[in-house]
Amino acid sequence: MRPLEGVTVVDFSQFLAGPYAALRLLDLGARVIKIENPDRGDLCRHHYVSETCVDGDSTLFHAINRGKESVTLDLKTEAGHAAARRLIERADVVIQNFRPGVIDRLGLGYEAAATLRPGLVYGSISGYGEAGEWAGLPGQDLLAQARSGVMWLSGNRGQGPVPVGLPIADIAAGACLAQGLLAALYRQARTGEGTHVQTSLLEALIDLQFEFLTTWLSNGQRPPERLQHGSAHGYLAAPYGVYDTAEGHLAVAMMPLATLSDALDRPSLAAQLAGLEAFADREAIRERLQEVLITRPAAEWEATLSAKGIWCARVRSWAEMRTEGGPAVTGMLHAGGELARVAAPFRIDGARPMPVARGPVLNEHGAALAREFGFDPV
């Protein structure tokens, strides 16, 4: 259940991307010591996504920092800097997401940290990499989405850019860093050699678009084309998309048109689709399918078509997913108490790591960590 038992992570990062990487290591058994600024701590403590808060901190903070230890250090003071060095000396992993150059000016960059702890695994997340015109720009999720091209992939034609309604750049970058850190820990265990793992919000968003970007770079740079309605994938042919029904919406995935026509039991539809090309005539095909699918509720279509081997799904809400999704959902979503919990998205030997409910109070572990690591409380 805890393959990273005994691994100590010292995390200087804040907000989402870096802390998400640390969270994944924590779920695998690592100990995570979160370094926070004495002046109100991690920005995420005060970034409210709703009116709900616990112990004066946002639910967002608790979700991303559950189970971690908190100590406040002012890295611009000698005492704070000395304490940080003592923590690094006994760390297996260090994570930071300052703007490029800041951690080096603080004297805690990779080269300095590796001198303190030979064999150290060190992870860095930036907004747009360490060089180039964008390097010094704010590494914020919505801004990274805007600069990456990803906003042109969602929504329908004519809508303009549509941002993904999740901090997808932060979470993806954190996942990329965690993957690199795990590989570096494997090398550390085999050879004792240290590693500096680097990624950025922009690189993570490019990776999420690798399928589309590979196509775009290979087809004369013809961009994907969003449909007028129900658009879902700009490079996939009809019938791929989301359709209105008499009640609710139905998503239809990749499927030969002839097979779908047979399953719909509409001989006239087959005749209408004859001669149309699945990609070139996507709009016309969609209009004809929509005329049929609007006649019955999505739940009926899902049951009927799925039984005939058609890849389709009724579009569900969170509540419906929770009710119908089975063990994959109930194993991850845990309500009750002052704060719900979302568990790790993986199982080890059949068991899922169970998370604690909340993150730490600011500097909750400061005194205990000072005694353990041998520095003066700051």
Give residue 77's identity as a one-letter amino acid code: T
The residue written with tokens 């961009």 in the block is 223
- Domains in the chain: boundaries: 8-208+333-373, 249-314
Task: Kindly tell me if the per-residue pLDDT of 144 is higher than 90.
Answer: yes
For 39, the token pair is 């002046």
pLDDT higher than 90, residue 163: yes
Q: What is the pLDDT of residue 56?
A: 83
pLDDT at residue 185, rounded to an integer: 98
Cα–Cα separations (whole angstroms), residue 136 to 98, 205, 342: 10, 18, 34
Q: State both tokens at 377.
A: 């409380």
195-207 pLDDT tens trace: 999 999 999 999 9
Average pLDDT over residues 66-93: 97
pLDDT in tens, 121-141: 999 999 999 999 999 999 999
Mean pLDDT score of the chain = 93
Evaluate if residue 114 carries a pLDDT over 90. Answer: yes
Task: Kindly report the number of other CB atoms within 10 A of residue 141's CB atom.
Answer: 23
Q: With bands split at pLDDT 50, 70 and 90, how would you rate the model's confidence at 111?
A: very high
CA angle (115 as vertex; 113, 118 as ends), nearest 5:
95
Give the pLDDT band of residue 278 (cuts 50, 70, 90): confident
> Which tens digits make up the pLDDT trace of 352-370?
988 887 899 999 999 999 9
Q: Residue 363: what pLDDT?
A: 96
Active-site residue flag, 170: yes
d(CA 299, CA 305): 10
Task: Name beta bridge partners: 94.
Answer: 10, 122
pLDDT band, very low/low/confident/very high, at 232 (cuts 50, 70, 90): confident
Compute the distance between CA of residue 142 and CA of residue 168 in angstroms, rounded to an integer.
9
Distance CA 201, CA 189 (A): 28
Helix (H) or strand (E) holding 205: helix 201-208
Report the pLDDT value the prediction gives residue 55, as an integer from 0 to 100. 80
Residue 17 pLDDT > 80, yes or no?
Answer: yes
Inform me whether the pLDDT recorded for 51 exceeds 90: no
Rounded (5°) CA angle 97-49-167: 45
C-alpha span between 11 and 35 (Å, rounded): 6
pLDDT average, residue stretch 266-282: 86
For residues 364-378, average pLDDT: 93
Can you give the pLDDT at residue 268?
84
Among 40-54, 82-96, 142-156, the least confident range: 40-54
Catalytically annotated residue among 27, 57, 141, 170: 170
Q: Would you state the pLDDT for residue 15?
A: 94
Q: Which residues pair with 333 in a beta bridge?
A: 342
Residue 378 has pLDDT above 80, yes or no: no
* CATH homologous superfamily for the domain 8-208+333-373: Crotonobetainyl-coa:carnitine coa-transferase; domain 1 (3.40.50.10540)
Contact 83, 376 (CB under 8 A): yes
CB 181 within 8 A of CB 199: no
Q: How much is the pLDDT for 266?
A: 84
Q: Is residue 12's pLDDT more than 90? A: yes
Q: To which H or E segment does residue 9 belong? A: strand 8-11
The pTM of the whole model exceeds 0.85: yes
Phi (first) and psi of residue 76, to 5 degrees: -90, -5
Chain segment 309-321, per-residue pLDDT in tens: 999 999 999 899 9
